[in-house]
Amino acid sequence: MKAIRLDATFAALADPTRRAILARLAAGEAPVTELARPFAMSQPAVSKHLKVLERAGLISRGRDAQRRPRRLEAKRLGEATRWLERYRRLWEGNYQRLDALLEELRAKERK
């Protein structure tokens, strides 16, 4: 189940419009009309992006009288971050070993 959630998260993050919506929601909740404003697309098109983000668990829909403001749900981003962090540490270790090897070779050249 965790793999399915992770797949949905990365699929949702693959689109620049959805990433921009998440960036806006990081500043606080907002109604669909406000989220749609910066984009050259119809409100129904923006709503489709919001549905993808909701299905991925990255945003949720609130209820405030007639408004349905969206808000960021950071938990799923945290899951993706932890998954990426494992690989960052792996590559960082590889680069540190490469740096050490290069320094060792340079030291031998200087002798």
The pair of three-digit structure tokens given for residue 27, joined into one six-digit string: 């500043």
Report, at the CATH architecture level, how domain 2-110 is classified: Orthogonal Bundle (1.10)
Residues 45, 47, 52, 53, CA torsion sign:
positive
Neighbouring C-beta atoms of residue 83, cutoff 10 Å? 14
Q: Which amino acid is at 109?
A: E
* pLDDT tens per residue across span 98-110: 999 999 999 988 8
* pLDDT tens per residue across span 47-94: 999 999 999 999 999 877 677 899 999 888 999 999 999 888 889 988
Alpha helices in 1-111 (DSSP H): 2-13, 16-25, 32-36, 43-55, 74-110
Average pLDDT of span 10-33: 95
| In the chain, where the domains are located | 2-110
Between CA 102 and CA 108 the distance in angstroms is 10
The pair of three-digit structure tokens given for residue 65, joined into one six-digit string: 């009288």
- Stated pTM of the model: 0.77
